A = this chain, B = another copy of it.
Amino acid sequence: MDNFTFYSPTLYEFGRGAEEKTGMLTFLMGVKKVMIVFGKKYVKANGLLDRIESSLSTIGIEYVEYGGIEANPTDDRVYEAIAIARDKHVDGLLAIGGGSVIDTAKAVAAGVPYEGDFWDFFSGRSIVKKALPVGVVLTIPGAGSEGSGNAVITRRETLQKLSLRTDSILKPRFAIVDPELTFTLSAYQTACGIVDMMSHIMERYFSPTSRVEVSDRLAEGLLLSLITEAPKALADPTDYQSRANIEWAGTLAHNGLVGCGRREDWVSHFMEHEISAVYGVTHGAGLAVVIPAWMAFMAHHKPSKVAQLGRRVFGVEAPDDRTAAIEAVASLRAFFSAVLRMPLTFKALGIAEPDIDLLVSKLHEDKGETIGGYYKLSAKDTRQIYELMLDEPSRPQSAS
């Protein structure tokens, strides 16, 4: 276990009707005029926006609406929102939505008090020293942005999808999580969210750091919860209890808890970000294609932790690590495919002829010559992993 700092000061208000506390919690974060950031139609159509605005008005908080954020949010919307927020003298952000909306709100929160170009925070040219406070009403779980200090924005011009990571300055002050707001998510959206949650756990789980029993066991526990609850939510989208367990697991997957005391990996995210930046696929669906390919490669190059995952989460019994790891990959593929109905190949993702040259070159241009915490990957390795996404089922043997 390595030294670490863990600071997760987000207040979680969880449960049926929790959004009624939006006004009070916004007031407690000291905000007088809030910019409400949201997506396309959902929050207006179902009356949620009205309910939240009335909760703000009751307590005397003014608000400015900024809607229409789409999946894989782009820098142009952030620039526009920053200009409006400055013009209207907004002193806080309220995101109603999922990762795209929350990430946009965070980028705006950091950009408003910054004199330079907000993209500096994403390109690594500057770090966030102050930001407006952000509150969240979560409607699409998965991204985990409600508990993280991170944001991901795509540069429209260059298709660079980059992330901004802060210790805590951009962690939301509060996150309102009402599982009933997720009842209307489609099976596809639900499944994409679950893959994203599992990936946030596994990116931390696949670590070179040894003796992290507590963080390992917590990660495995969250994965087991998701594997247990996912089929229930898919069978009955209004099953409150499975929605609640999935949503809480998704928050804990990404608030830093399961990363405590260890180096993390994040290669699957990096590889998926290139795919979704170029082809505009849904992040969770892209991850369902990337993760098993990454794991199949590891089953042959560094199987130990993949084997542990197989034994503790999927009940694999093989005594040697390589066999256990190969079985773990097969179990994860089966879960993604048969239970979550997720794609496992580029083709199933709707990309008939992926430009692997482009993906590999953009990946290493953005992230460096070698990447990965668990195992260092060169461009030759990442090409091999992208190639494993071509065939279904990609037989793990082909990785050796």
Contact = CB atoms under 8 A, between A and B. Distances in A.
A279 interface: no
A9 B9 contact: yes
Interface in A215-233: 217-218, 220-222, 224-225, 228-229
Contact of A12 (B5, B17, B228, B248): B5
Interface in A1-30: 1-18
A373 interface: no
A249 interface: yes
A247 to B, nearest CB: 9
Contacts of A4: 12, 14-15
Nearest to A241: B211
A378 interface: no
Interface in A187-215: 210-214
A14 B8 contact: no
A323 interface: no
A252 interface: yes
Q: Report the copy number of this chain in the oligomer.
A: 2
Interface in A238-278: 241-242, 244-245, 248-249, 252, 257, 260-261
Contacts of A6: 11-12, 14
Interface string A385-400: 0000000000000000
A221 B221 CA distance: 6
Contacts of A260: 14, 248
Contacts of A257: 257
Contacts of A218: 218, 221-222, 252
Contact of A1 (B8, B12, B245): B245
A13 B9 contact: no
Contact of A248 (B13, B241, B261): B261
Instruction: Please indicate which of the listed interface residues A210, A220, A224 has the most CB atoms of chain B within 10 Å of its own CB.
Output: A224
Given A3-B16, A217-B225, A218-B218, 20 more contacts: A1-B15, A1-B241, A3-B14, A3-B17, A4-B14, A6-B14, A7-B11, A8-B8, A8-B9, A9-B11, A15-B261, A210-B241, A211-B241, A211-B242, A214-B249, A217-B221, A218-B252, A221-B221, A248-B260, A248-B261
